[in-house]
Amino acid sequence: MKLFLNLIILAIILLSTNLFAAKNLYVTYKEIPKQVYKNQKFEVKLKALITTEDFDYIKTSFLNSKNIEVINPYAEWINTTGANYENTYFFKANEGKFELPTFSNELIKNEEVIEVSNLSSKSISYSDIAKDDERFSNIIAKEFKIKAYKTKQYNNKETLTVIDIDALNSNLEDFHLFGIEEQGTSQLIDIYPNQNLIYYLVMPIHKKKVQFKYYNTTSKSFVNITIPLILQNELVSTQTDLNPNNSNFEKYKKIALVLLLIVFVLLYIWKKNKIYLGISIVLLIISIIYFMPNKTGIVKKNSYIYILPTNNSTIFFKLDNSERVEILNKKSEFIKVMGIEKKFIGWIKEENLGKN
């Protein structure tokens, strides 16, 4: 009987030791919004305290969510100080009845789970913002900037306006203006939280401006935007240089290439090593090719100038006469050209390019 009691006591001790074993992973919310709006992208910041170094990484999965999209489910945890880690996840609420997920956080060692810490979902209030406001563009953003805009005559009755937009913590994919029949996205670059949108509008030729508003999450207010529709003759953006050869990035690449060539030439003079000579010759050949002027050609009369190198891209305008151009780039059957006499930049179909 005494042996039996001792076994029971030992079992209780072992069970209690297992139940109350020290945890190594503690996850809590660092930042979470109190309210979000329809189609808004918002961020939730988590922080973790890890009291062991015997792990490889943290893996997070999302359980029991509803009507919500995780923008960056594979975001990595970052060690901030000592045993503290942080991660930021971006979400998009698609409709009012949404539920934030339960965050299941796992410590991984040798591809095996050694500990799990679940962080329960929190409720966030929801609002269908500016529901009946016809000027609302559906955009909710921390920052919103019109980088450039351009208006060209589309036909005898309409103009074509192209807008270049940068935004931070935004939903540019939902951009839409009320009352304009022909509009759409030409290009969307989404490296969240940064986005860039090229958007086109076809408007009656008598319209002189486009007005819309977006909601700024920093100021918590609507911001009005006005774009004047001013016809211009050349395809030059107001703030953005469309010629890649004139960009700062290209200049830095050329400077870096020359400096690299000089370094290896000096190394060869100093060390007399043939490897350095070979590398110098290769860099010299690359430099000669890189600094050679672009080829030129003639774009045939009545050729269409496209915004992007795709068949369904918006047409900027049609050439009334053949034009001499500089060839900037090539993608499949499209060629990017810059007008030499008549200043414009755009894409043409390869079949419309003739020789000098």
**DSSP assignment string, 89-136:** EEEEE-SSS-BPPEEEEEEEETTEEEEEEEE-----EEE-TTTT-TTE
Q: How far apart are the first and last CA of the chain?
A: 108
Residues of the chain short of pLDDT 70, as ranges, are 1-22, 232-252, 289-294, 312-317, 340-344, 355-356
- As a whole number of angstroms, the distance between CA 155 and CA 182 comes to 14
Which pLDDT score, from 0 to 100, does residue 107 have? 95
Determine contact, residues 100/63, Cβ cutoff 8 Å.
no
Which pLDDT score, from 0 to 100, does residue 144 have? 96
Which pLDDT score, from 0 to 100, does residue 158 have? 85
Which pLDDT score, from 0 to 100, does residue 180 have? 92
Question: In whole angstroms, how large is the CA radius of gyration of the chain?
Answer: 30
Which pLDDT score, from 0 to 100, does residue 20 have? 45
Q: Please state which architecture CATH assigns to domain 296-354.
A: Roll (2.30)
- As a whole number of angstroms, the distance between CA 214 and CA 311 comes to 31
- As a whole number of angstroms, the distance between CA 192 and CA 42 comes to 11
Which pLDDT score, from 0 to 100, does residue 339 have? 76
Which pLDDT score, from 0 to 100, does residue 3 have? 52
Which pLDDT score, from 0 to 100, does residue 256 have? 78
Domain residues of the chain, as ranges? 21-127, 136-228, 244-291, 296-354
Which pLDDT score, from 0 to 100, does residue 16 have? 45
Q: Please state which architecture CATH assigns to domain 21-127.
A: Sandwich (2.60)
* Token pair of 235 as six digits: 């395809």
pLDDT tens digit sequence for 138-193? 999 999 999 888 888 777 788 888 899 999 999 999 999 999 988 888 788 888 88
Count of alpha carbons within 13 angstroms of residue 52, beta-carbon side? 15
